[in-house]
Each structure stands twice: as C-alpha cells, then as structure tokens.
Amino acid sequence: TVIAEQMAWITAWRIDRYARGSMLKTPFYQRATNTEALPAARKAAEVIRDKEQEKVLSARQNQIANQPPDRMDELVLQPGVKDFDPKMDQTQLFDAAKEFGKDYHDGYRIPDNLAQLVLDTVLQPVIFVLNTDDEAQEYRRMKRDGEARVAVLFPDAGEASNAEQPAGLVRALFDDQVHDSRAWFMYAALGTREMWTGYFRYRMIYFSERCSKPLSPLVLAGDLVGFATVTAGVVLSFRQKRLTGKLAGLAATGAVRSLEVAVLDKITGEALPEL
C-alpha cells in the first residue's frame, strides 16, 4: 500500500539518522533550536505566551461589547495565540533517536518519568487488548522494508554521491522539510512521546467512511453501541457499560470509562466462552 511504502522510506531514513547516529553531524540537527529545553526557560516562555493570549481575550471582549446586537452573527473574533510549543527541537530529536534506536535494536525502553511508567508501561497491555493489530508483525515488516532501502538513501560512496539523484533528494526532503511528528507530539506536555505507540506501528488513518485498518461500527437495532474489529473467525465487540448514579455522571465527563468486551463467533454470532 501507499502507507506501507511511505513508512518504509522514512524508516530507512530513521535507521541511519537515528539508530546509527548520523543525525548528530547533520546541518538540520546542528541548527535546531534548543533555547527553551531547560524547565526554567520553558516556564518563562510559557508565561510570555499566556500573557499574549490574555491580551487577545481582552480584545475579544471589547469586540463583543462594541458589536451591534443585531449583527452579532457577523462578528469575527481576533485569532488567539497558538498553543505553547517550546523551542527545544534538539532535545526532542535527540530523545527520539534514542527511542528509535532502542526499538530498532529490540531493546527495552526504561521509563523516564512516573507518567510514562504508569501510562505507557503499566496500562499498555490494556490498550493493546482493545485492537487486533499484530504489533510484532508490523514491527518485523517495517524493520525489514526500512533496512532494504537504507543503502539507497545512504550509499557506501557517501551522501554527496547521490545528492542530485532521486534517492538523495528524498533524503534531503526528510532532513530539511518533513517534520518527524513523533519526535515532537505531546513531548512538551508529558516530557516523553505519545503513549501506547511507537516508530514501528502503522497508524490508523480515516478519510470520510474509509479506514486504513479493518475497523467497522457495530450497530444493533439502528443504534451505534460500540465498535468491532474482525480477526480470524471472531468478532471482538467493545461497548460502554451501563453505569448508574454517580458513576454514570462521572462517565459522562470522561472521568470514568468502563468497557464490556464480547468475543463472538463470526459465523454464528454466538458469544464464545472466555478462556
């Protein structure tokens, strides 16, 4: 598929740049900013951002107050300041390279903080229960496909030897234009990368009613009650449990989430006994 082909090429790039460490000598890494990597500098920058947002909120109130009531639907409020994004690109790239290197060499990633220990280590098996992806198969495929392309992007004769050729231009695209979102996403908020995933997983991509993985809605009597993924003769059905009283109130806010899991025979529709 197109997704698998694209992932193979960027995995090849990551193998050399991240796992083999060639990133450290590249211009894109050396010119990356890192002025807000330390907590104190990051906090100071966030305070400045928040003050600018407060000015925007005040300006919006003035806009609303000065807008004629009969023309309120025409009001376009002043745009806000973008979400805080600290300048710590070098730190994010360096830590991403360490993470990818450990995964690539089949190493165990030691949790960096308490949040990572609880969310990404203790709860990870629970999250993986809620899908039918073959993580081991995806890992092997992405690693194999990436390794097959490393020599194309990074020839033995050196990067200058193919700099003007298609492979060299793809390498330059990854170096200078493509943003490795896993190196950045949620890093500032959590002090680590996005939970329950990694560099050797195919993302589930939605477009309108289409999906890149075999996930389908489960509908009973016209009501959407959960989702089912089909695998090897069984259907795994997940639906929200009925909660009453205070628990139901908490569930509505997202504070409590409780799922029922049913394993059904794909042909008969009958529930299968738990092992």
DSSP codes of every residue in 69-103:
GGGGGG--PPPPPPPP--S-HHHHHHHHHHHHHHH
Q: Which is more confident, 11 or 235?
A: 11
Mean of the per-residue pLDDT values of the chain:
77
Torsion over CA: 55, 57, 59, 61 (sign): negative
Render pLDDT for 3-43 as a digit per residue (tens, 0 to 9): 899 999 999 999 999 999 999 999 999 999 999 999 999 99
Query: What whole-number distance in Å separates Cα of residue 193 and Cα of residue 119?
Result: 11
Closest CA to 31 of 172, 176, 193: 176
β-partners of residue 260 are: 239
pLDDT in tens, 113-165: 555 555 555 445 444 444 556 778 888 999 999 999 999 999 999 999 999 99
Give CA–CA dist 63/61, Å, rounded.
Answer: 5
